[in-house]
Amino acid sequence: MLQFSLWKRALVILICLAAVVFSAPNLFYDRVERHNDAVAQIAAGNDTPELQAERALWPDWLPSDTINLGLDLRGGAHLLVEVRVSDVYADRIDALWPEVRDLLRTERATVGGVRRMPSDDPGVLRVAIGNAEGMQRALEVVRTLSQPMQTLTGIGQQDLDIHEDNGQIIVTLSEAERLATDDRTMRQSLEIIRRRVDEAGTREPTILRQGADRVLIQVPGVGSADEILDLIGRTARLTFHPVVRTTSNGNEAPGPRQVVYPAMNEQGVYYVLEQTAVVSGEQLTDAQPTFDQNGRPAVSFRFNPAGARAFGLYTAENIGNPFAIVLDNEVISAPVIQSAIPGGSGIITGRFTIEESTQLAILLRAGALPASIQVLEQRTIGPELGQDSVDAGKVAAVVAMAAVLLYMGLSYGFYGWIANVALMMNVAMIFAILSLIGGTLTLPGIAGIVLTIGMAVDANVLIFERIREELRTARGPARAIELGYERAMSAILDANITTFMTAAILYALGSGPVRGFAITLGLGIVTSVFSAIFVTRLIIVWWFERRRPKTLNL
Amino acid sequence: MYRLKIVPDDTDINFMGPWKYTFGLSMVLIAASIAVFFAIGLNFGIDFRGGTTIRTEATQPVDVGAYREALAPLNLGDIAITEVYDPSFRDDQHVASMRIQAPDDGEAVSPAVLAQVQSALQGVDPSITFASVESVGPKVSGELVQEAILAVLAALGAVLIYIWLRFEWQFALGAVAALVHDLILTIGVFVILQLRFDLAIIAALLTIVGYSLNDTVVVFDRMRENLIKYKQRPVLDVMNLSLNETLTRTLMTSFTTLIALIALFVLGGDVLRGFVFAMIWGIFVGTWSSIYVAAVIVKLLGVKRDWGKGGDKAGTQFATSSSK
């Protein structure tokens, strides 16, 4: 009777011990947090006696994962912004026009005069040609601009859709290219936003892509969402400057309207540049990782019409001179102009690895936000309100726990206290798992834990009531306990599986704080079933084996 | 040792006796809830209709009139200002909550407007600080409404299928009817008390679904067992027996859950109070509906009496083993 194999017992005990050990850091939240901060600082190379002292607040060999507090508990800013991805289509199309024009001009004999026609949709380029018979040739020529797609999803497709409509050439981005562009736009926006938020040096910002065209930004400890908004709405600083000379002295006094910028990847190299930029990052519409003619990783870029014109003029007049590509006041590279670049597109070579060229392409695009953003949701929670909520939640949880423990003890006596041990294990397990998976505790999440404290005893109540019933009919206490567990099981499983399903749905469809609630509720269900079935059972079996009681006073 | 006993060992309460009246009462309450929902409507929070809520804290007492006057020149449309009180507040902690309508252009309220609001309020009372400022654009709030409805429907659908697989279709319909009953009555109470209905309340609704279901499933489980054990007894008798047998457990679990929730209601601060209120209400209606909606529907739909004779093995494995 009451089979409980040794390895199962060992496992249950091990899990309980682990729960206690891994939930413990949360009891010393402040200390552990300071310890973790200090460890991170020291790892980053700032080693001071103060940091070592902070680090010593919590022993290194103990687990130091704690639950993340959600914004509603810690205070901070929450922003949901939408990136207007379609802005990019228009920029891309505008940037294509000079290329289309130049190409068609070379075919002037067959095509005739070329004119850009107005278009209702800024993402569509309409070109009229003077000689209708030349349309086939014109389409042929323009189609050479279309490139096969390089992305995984777009293999075998072209990036441009070029056809004739009413005697005009229509150039649009193909559907596949639009999707790819949207995706790129989102990745760029995330990258820009991340870079900018990181730059502010805030603690643990969360920057997540949400759905097709949204970015969620959560920054704990910021006084107001406006601060973040100022940051991510700021103009980017990517500029192209004429180079006056290079120098190794960073403090060298530059001439009038000149500046000294360091090289990005070379220590001790500085460039003296004309302060007035030839073109700036806002005029860059695209940058892609590519390879130069020697097969080395490089980055191709393309300007919008205004940028292209300025760039073309400048390069034509300055062949043989270097110009600097400057990002955030650092010179990425300063190539020598080999020839005039009239189409507004070019290539940056350097000593890149493929990763670096990919990253540089992202950075180049990140120079300006690729599309405008719109704020959909903005929340600021003051740290005091969060702290008040944490305090209130703590008190409520402790009182709830004490009341439930007392009530169970009064109702079931000794057995009630066994269930209470399981309940405490249950809470420890919830905290341990939340800490280990880096879960976020929100205000509704605290409610979820308190609710779990109330509901967790349900499985034990079911079992105890069943044992009581079985005691009246069954042969002896051992049999009654066994039957009690066995027969209560179907109710326990059905009841908890159905509740778990609602928690799962809440998690899948909810967001933010609601999701936090779903996590604690779902975890609470799993741990409460485990603690009711295994932990109480282990204790009862143990006790039973030692005492061998003839009757149960349940 | 002293034992607290809320229920005597052998109760024989005729729960199902007045089923016509109780079921009728539930139907009337549902009809009333639907009526007030359409007549008065829910007090939706910004999650669902967009707009801005600002929570202010000041050391001076809240003067709603002065706040309103200060904001009037900004032409922000409908502004609702309420004073918030909670026993946990300090003596010099005066909290107010205000809600500003959303602009029509799909964006959240602009930072410039928020700055104006904040400086206008600080003009009234320099001690004002802004504990929280939350804006939701109508675009997002529309989606949140959809997501919320979807979440509730998905939960009901999942329950329907699970109970159908584990029990019988009558039980599935009974359980889902009970859940719908609970949801409608909870919404009814929120309409009548004009409590703010926001995203957290949807979480509370789904928790009520979970709790009520928990209760219903335990009762159903026992009914299934007893229907197999006592093949000849009338259905109402078997139901009564099952309800009496599970009564102690029903009350124990309701009590422990209520204890925990009441602690949270009293001590958990005002931010959570609506959410906790919904759940406390849910414990009551959930327990009630397990008996007087779920069970009654199963009775009305007629229930299979020849359990265990072939078929349905998967669904009744525990029940058949205990009928040996």
CA distance A480 to chain B (A): 13
In this prediction the pTM is 0.74
Whether A513 shows a pLDDT value over 70: the answer reads no
CA distance B266 to chain A (A): 8
Whether B88 shows a pLDDT value over 60: the answer reads yes
> Which amino acid belongs to residue A281?
G
Angle at B90 between CA B84 and CA B93, to 5 degrees: 50
Instruction: Determine the residue of chain A that is closest to B1 in CA distance.
Output: A413
> DSSP secondary-structure letter at A233?
T
Percent of chain B with pLDDT over 70: 90
Percent of chain A with pLDDT over 90: 4
* Listed range (A149-163, A360-374, A521-535) with the worst mean pLDDT: A360-374
- CATH code, residues B51-136: 3.30.70.3220
Q: Do B135 and A378 touch (CB under 8 A)?
A: yes
Q: Is A150 on the interface with B (CB under 8 A)?
A: no
What does the alpha-carbon distance between residue B152 and residue A193 come to, in Å, rounded to a whole number?
35
Q: Do A226 and B217 touch (CB under 8 A)?
A: no
CB atoms within 10 A of CB A328: 15
Question: Mean per-residue pLDDT for A139-149?
Answer: 81
- Measured in whole angstroms, the distance separating CA B65 from the mean position of its chain's CA atoms is 34
Q: Is A403 on the interface with B (CB under 8 A)?
A: yes
- pLDDT band at residue B104, thresholds of 50, 70 and 90? low
What does the alpha-carbon distance between residue A159 and residue A165 come to, in Å, rounded to a whole number?
19
Q: Do A501 and B150 touch (CB under 8 A)?
A: no
What does the alpha-carbon distance between residue B286 and residue B277 come to, in Å, rounded to a whole number?
14
Instruction: Determine the residue of chain B that is closest to A464 in CA distance.
Output: B249
Domain ranges of chain B: 19-43+141-322, 51-136
SS (H, E, C) A10-68: HHHHHHHHHHHHHHHHHHHHHHHHHHHHHHHHHHCCCCCHHHHHHHCCCCCCCCCCCCE
Q: Is A372 on the interface with B (CB under 8 A)?
A: no
What does the alpha-carbon distance between residue A160 and residue A139 come to, in Å, rounded to a whole number?
12
Give the burial class of A161: count Cβ atoms within 10 A of its Cβ; 0-12 exposed, 13-18 middle, 19 or more buried. Answer: middle
Percent of chain A with pLDDT over 70: 90
The B residues from 18 to 47 touching A (CB cutoff 8 Å) are none
Is-contact A216 A83, C-beta < 8 A? no
| Encoded tokens for B302 | 């007629």
What does the alpha-carbon distance between residue A494 and residue A458 come to, in Å, rounded to a whole number?
13
pLDDT tens by residue, B151-199: 888 888 988 898 888 888 888 999 999 999 999 999 999 999 988 888 8
CATH 3.40.50.720 fits B19-43+141-322, yes or no: no
CA distance A72 to chain B (A): 9
Say which residue, A355 or A104, is predicted with more confidence: A104
Q: Is B106 on the interface with A (CB under 8 A)?
A: yes
Chains A, B: CB pairs < 8 Å: 258
* A270-274/A345-349 β-pairing: unpaired
pLDDT tens by residue, A235-253: 445 678 888 888 887 777 7
- Measured in whole angstroms, the distance separating CA A39 from the mean position of its chain's CA atoms is 23
pLDDT tens by residue, A250-273: 777 777 667 888 887 777 888 888
Q: Do A379 and B135 touch (CB under 8 A)?
A: yes
| Encoded tokens for A375 | 């704020």
Sign of CA dihedral B276, B279, B285, B291: negative
Query: Residue B27: what pLDDT?
Result: 92
The highest-confidence range among A316-330, A379-393, B9-23, by mean pLDDT, is: A379-393
Beta bridge partners of A218: A78, A206
ipTM for the whole complex: 0.83
Q: Do A498 and B322 touch (CB under 8 A)?
A: no
Instruction: Determine the residue of chain A that is closest to B203 in CA distance.
Output: A514
Q: Do A393 and B268 touch (CB under 8 A)?
A: yes
Closest CA to A471 of A528, A407, A546, A549: A549
CA distance B310 to chain A (A): 20
Q: Do B217 and A457 touch (CB under 8 A)?
A: no
* Cα first-last separation, chain A: 19
Whether A363 shows a pLDDT value over 70: the answer reads no
Mutate to test the interface with A, among B55, B217, B251, B312 (most CBs of A within 10 A): B217
Q: Which of A413, A446, A494 sits opposite B1 (nearest CB)?
A: A413
Whether B315 shows a pLDDT value over 50: the answer reads no
User: Rounded to 5 degrees, what are φ and ψ at B95?
Assistant: -115, 135
CA distance A427 to chain B (A): 14
Give the burial class of B260: count Cβ atoms within 10 A of its Cβ; 0-12 exposed, 13-18 middle, 19 or more buried. Answer: buried
Whether A233 shows a pLDDT value over 80: the answer reads no
DSSP H helical segments within A209-278, as ranges? 225-232
* Listed range (A35-49, B250-264, B266-280) with the worst mean pLDDT: A35-49
Q: Is B203 on the interface with A (CB under 8 A)?
A: yes
Sign of CA dihedral A441, A445, A450, A455: negative
Q: Which stretches of chain B are assigned E, i.e. beta strand?
A: 43-44, 51-58, 79-84, 94-100, 129-136, 196-197
* Chain B residues within an 8 Å CB radius of A396: 263-264, 266-268
* Chain A residues within an 8 Å CB radius of B114: 226
- Measured in whole angstroms, the distance separating CA B196 from the mean position of its chain's CA atoms is 13
Whether A351 shows a pLDDT value over 70: the answer reads no
Angle formed by the axes of helices A383-436 and A6-23, nearest 10°: 150
- pLDDT band at residue A327, thresholds of 50, 70 and 90? low
pLDDT tens by residue, A419-478: 899 999 999 999 999 898 888 888 888 888 888 888 888 888 888 888 888 888 867 888
CA distances from A29 to A34, A393, A398, B159 (A): 9, 15, 16, 39
Closest CA to A67 of A512, A446, A480, A339: A446
Q: Is A388 on the interface with B (CB under 8 A)?
A: yes
Query: Residue B185: what pLDDT?
Result: 94
